Structure 1
Amino acid sequence: MKSAFVSRLIILSLVFAETYAYDADAIVQAACAASSPGGFVSAIRRTCGGTQATCDAICGSAISGMRDIYGNQGSTTGTCFEAFHFYYKHATLTPEEKGKALMAMHRYGVSGCQSTGCGPNFCCCKA
């Protein structure tokens, strides 16, 4: 009985984790689009920890996949114009709760495009 409960709990947490990540993707995509200079824009996930590729490098490498989504429109060069750190931990608020933070992001600006350490976990890329 205990084993079945633990199995269900693990499955539920995996489903929740996937939904949680998807929500972050949609939120950061909207933030990238809102802060974009115009054109075709994608929010690309970036690993946060240790020495990682810069958003400049990630955007350059992601151009083929970006253009596949856009129907081969836009530039053939991917460039970073913004970077965000989305904090996955967030509160759960009832509709009646007011004046409390729900979630948070840090906006790096274009300087985040050159970060190699943990910092931005999303790159805003333009094609």
Structure 2
Amino acid sequence: MRTNMFVVGALLCFLNIACAIDHYALTYNYFDEMAQNYCAAKGTGWTFSLRRDCGNVAPTCNDICESASAEILRIIYHQQHKVACFDAFEINKDHNQLLANPTISQPDAGKVSFATYGYGSGGCTWPPNNCGPNYCCCNAFD
């Protein structure tokens, strides 16, 4: 009986788009991918984008990269030996939604959607507990 209730609940969630998006974290993954692309484009070698929660206790990006250094080095099989912040990035998550563009034409051409801000290396020392960058760019190096 419990399995049937789970299946029904999952189906109802799937039919409710907002629930499905929250359940599968599609919006978070999209922003994470944007941040990773930004960091990879700005950096060299092994680069990582890490979330920074400026809505609560927000350490500096230097601290975030330092705290993640053991995991970062483990992920890359210790091919490098140090980790540091090199940039910070803000994605404005309150943006205009554009129409889908699966065809050659571009509906909503010329309309503004995303707003992003690159802080450069100064974002690595952005004051703790202050909103600003919501992603930190870290790299692994020797």
TM-score range, shorter chain: 0.7 to 0.9
User: Secondary structure of 1:111's partner?
Assistant: helix
Counterpart secondary structure, 2:64: helix
Where has structure 1 moved over 4 Å in runs of 4 or more? Answer: none
Question: Is the CA contact (8 Å cut-off) linking 1:51 and 1:118 kept in structure 2?
Answer: no
Matched, 1:20 2:27: yes
State the partner residue of 1:110: 121
1:29 corresponds in structure 2 to: 36
Q: CA deviation at 1:64?
A: 1.4
C-alpha distance 14-80 of structure 1, shift in aligned 2 (>3 A): farther
Paired residues in the alignment total 120
Q: Deviations over 1:35-91 (max 9, x none)?
A: 11x11110000111355210001101111111222222223x221110011112222
Matched, 1:66 2:92: no
The answer (yes or no) to whether the contact 2:89–2:135 under 8 Å persists in 1 is: yes
Equivalent runs, 1:1-127 vs 2, <5 Å? 8=13, 12-17=17-22, 18-36=25-43, 38-49=44-55, 51-75=57-81, 77-94=82-99, 95=101, 96-115=107-126, 116=128, 117-127=130-140
For the residues of structure 2 that align with 1:84 and 1:56, how far apart are their CA atoms?
Answer: 13
Checking the alignment, whether the CA contact within 8 Å between 2:88 and 2:135 is kept in structure 1 is yes
**Match of 1:19, as an amino acid?**
L
Q: How many angstroms apart in 2 are the aligned matches of 1:71 and 1:101?
A: 41
Structure 1 unpaired stretches of 5+: none
Q: Percent identity?
A: 33
* Cα distance in 2, alignment partners of residues 14 and 54 from structure 1: 33
Please give the TM-score of this superposition, normalised by the length of structure 2. Answer: 0.75
How far apart, in 1, do the equivalents of 2:123 and 2:85 lie?
9
Q: Radius of gyration: which is bigger?
A: 2
Please, what TM-score do these two structures have when normalized by structure 1? 0.83
Contact 2:61 2:123 in 1 (8 A): yes
Q: Provide structure 2 residue ranges, at least 5 long, that are not aligned to the other structure.
A: 1-8, 102-106
